[in-house]
A and B are shown apart, each in its own frame.
Chain A
C-alpha cells in the first residue's frame, strides 16, 4: 500500500501521467484541512480500495489549503473529492464516502473488467 502525501502529490501525478499504469489504480483524494471529515474520507478510501492498493494502486491525498492551485487545476468544487483517474473513464466522488455503494459498484465493475482482460 502506497500513499503519497500532499507535497509529493504533484510529482506523483506527473509520473503517473507519463507512465500509464496498465490495470492499476490511480486515485486522488482532495481534502480541505485536517478535519474529521477529511480523516474519515481518507480512511474510507483506504478501506474500500485496500485490495487494489495492495496490487500497486496509488492513492494521493492532497490538502487544497496547502496547494490551492491544484484545486483549480483539478476542478475541485466540493471537498472531499475523490477522483478516480485510472482506469478510465474518470470518475468523481464527492462527500465523506459514508454511503459507498456507488464506489463499491465502480470498483467491482473495474475489477471484473480487469479479470476479463
Chain B
C-alpha cells in the first residue's frame, strides 16, 4: 500500500492546533483540534455530530485554505449537500471547486457474505486516493461505526480501525471521527480506545420542555482546555458554542460618562450619568416605570447620535412606541433614522442559548452603543438559576468587550426582599437603580434610588418621580417625621413649607418696616432737637448782641459820666475787657 506520510505534527513545545472556525469551539480548545491527529466526536442521535464535522471541513476549505475529504457512511453526497445547505454552506460549490471531496461508503449488510480473512484495504485506498486527489488536510469519517453494522468479524474490524487511526496520523491529516454514544462507554463500539488525542462529547437534553445541546471536551491530550459542559446551538450560519469563560475579565474600561435622559437622575449619579460600557440594573415591581426609564435612556443615546438595540421580551415594539408616545417620547423617528432597533421575542419561543445566540447575532449586525434588555427576568426564568446567571455573565462580558452600555430591567415580585431576589445578578452589575412603590395616604407613589453605582459619587436619597405627559420628572425629596414624603403628603408638606416661608418673609418685612419707622421717628426727634438748638442759639446770639450793645452803651455812658465826673482812667479799661470776653463766647 502507498504511504505518502508527511508528518506535519512536528514535536514542538506547543501542540500544533488546527482551527475549526466553529464559533466558540476554538476558544474552548485553545485554538482548535490537534493538528495532524484524529479527534473523536461522539454523541447520541440528533446531537449535531455530522454538522460539526461538516462545518469543520467547510470552514477549513473556505477560511483556512485546507481542502477536506468527507467520508460519509450514512448519507449520500446529495443528502449531505441538502442537509448542510440549511446552515448556509454551499457544499456543492466547494465540491465543484475541488475543495471538498465527498465519498459515500455504502455497506449493505444483506448483500455481503463473509468468508475467510479480509482487511479494510479498500477503505484505505479510497481514503488515500481521495486525500491525494485534492491535497486534503482535513478528513471526516462520519460515522465509522456503520462498519460494525455491515461487517461481522469484529476482531478484524478492530485491528483495522487501529491501523486506520495510525495511518491517519502518519498521513498528517487532521481527522474528525464521529461515533454514536454508547450506553456505558463514550461510544457504542469503544472507538475512544483508539482515538486518544481528543474526544468531544455532544449531548442533547430536554429540561423543562426546552431542549439544549451541550458540548464537552472530555479529553485533549497535551493541551489545556475548557472542561465544562458548554451549551451550543445550530443556527442558520452554523454551530456556535457559547463559552462562559471565553472572554474573561480583561476588557477595556472607559471613564466617559453618558447621560440617562433624565437630568435629575444624572444629578443623582454624580451629575454626569453612567459610565460608558457599564452594566446597569433597573429593578422594580410591576408598573414602576422601568420601560419608561429605559426608553428615556434610548432617547438620550439617540440625541448623542448613538445606536440603541432594544430587546423586548414582553411587549411588541408597536406597543412600546404607543405607550411611550403617551408620555411624550417619540420613538418612531429614532427608528427611521436607524438609531433604534427593536428585537421582540417571546421568552418561551426557544431556549436560553438560542436567545443568547440571537442576541449576539443582532448585536453583531447592528453594532449598538447601548443595549436594553427588557426585562431580563423573563429570560432568566427559562433556565435554572445558574444557567440564567451564566447567560447574563456571557452577555455582559460580550457587551463590555465591545464598550456597549447595557441596561437590564428586572421585574421583582412583590413581597420578596428586593436585594435577595436579585442576589444572583446584582454582583455582575456596575450600577443598580431601584424603583419602588410607596403606599400610604390612600395612594401609591413611585420612588427611585441609587442602590449602587460603582466608581462614582452618588446620591443616597430616596427620590420620588412623576410620570407625566412630558416625560419623567424626578422631584425634590421631602422628609417628614415618618421618612420620605411622597404624593399628596409631599404636596402638603411642600405647601406647609411654602406657607411657613411666606410667614417668615412677611415677618421680616414687618420688622423692616418697624425699624424704618423707628429710624424715621428718631430722625424726626433729631431734627426737632436741632431746630430747638438752632432757635436757642439764635436767641443766645440775640441776647449776646443785646448785652454787647447795652454794655457798650453803658461803657459809653460810664465814660461819659466818668469824663463828666473826671474818674480815674484805670477804672475805664476794666469793663472793656469784660465785654471782649463775652463776645468770644
Contact = CB atoms under 8 A, between A and B. Distances in A.
* Contact-size category for B: 20 to 34
A100 B147 CA distance: 23
A65 B115 contact: no
A94 B114 CA distance: 5
A33 B119 CA distance: 12
Interface stretch (B103-111, B268-276, B507-515): B103-111
B116 A78 contact: no
Contacts of A90: 111
B413 to A, nearest CB: 63
Contacts of A100: 115
A96 B147 CA distance: 19
Interface stretch (A50-58, A69-77, A109-117): A69-77
Interface in A36-78: 37, 64-65, 68-69, 71-72, 75-78
A8 to B, nearest CB: 20
Contacts of B111: 89-92
B139 to A, nearest CB: 15
A98 B261 CA distance: 88
B118 A64 contact: no
Interface string B104-144: 01111001111111111111011011100000000000000
B113 A103 contact: yes
B570 interface: no
A12 to B, nearest CB: 20
Contacts of A95: 114-118
A72 B103 contact: yes
B129 to A, nearest CB: 4
A98 to B, nearest CB: 4
Interface residues of A, number: 33
Most buried by B among A37, A64, A77, A98: A77
A99 B125 contact: no
7 contacts: A37-B117, A77-B107, A81-B118, A91-B111, A93-B114, A99-B116, A101-B115
Given A77-B107, A79-B119, A71 B125 contact: yes
Nearest to A102: B113
B574 interface: no
Contacts of A26: none
B106 A65 contact: no
Given A77-B107, A92-B113, A103-B113, A72 B118 contact: no
A102 B115 CA distance: 8
Interface of B is mostly: mixed
A79 B130 CA distance: 18
B147 A77 contact: yes
B474 to A, nearest CB: 76
A104 to B, nearest CB: 10
B1 interface: yes
8 cross-chain pairs, A with B, having the tightest CB-CB distances, nearest first: A95-B116, A98-B116, A68-B129, A76-B122, A32-B121, A96-B116, A99-B115, A102-B113
Contacts of A79: 118-122
Given A33-B1, A75-B105, A81 B122 contact: yes
B2 interface: yes
A49 B117 CA distance: 20
Interface of B: 1-2, 103, 105-108, 111-123, 125-126, 128-130, 147, 150-151
Contacts of A89: 111
A68 B114 contact: no
A96 B117 contact: yes
Contacts of A97: 115-116
Nearest to A106: B113
Contacts of A86: none
A93 B121 CA distance: 15
A26 to B, nearest CB: 16
Nearest to A44: B116
Contact of B125 (A37, A68, A94): A68
A71 B126 contact: yes
Nearest to A31: B121
Contact of A77 (B2, B105, B129): B105
Nearest to B130: A72
A30 B119 CA distance: 12
Contacts of A76: 122, 125-126
Contacts of B108: 92
B115 A103 contact: yes
Contacts of B116: 95-99
Given A98-B117, A99-B116, A32 B1 contact: yes
B157 to A, nearest CB: 9
Contact of B119 (A32, A65, A68, A71): A32
B105 A94 contact: no
Nearest to A79: B121
A64 B115 contact: no
A95 B111 CA distance: 14
B2 A65 contact: yes
Contacts of B106: 75
A94 B1 contact: no
A74 to B, nearest CB: 9
Contacts of A94: 112-115, 118, 151
Contacts of A92: 108, 111-113
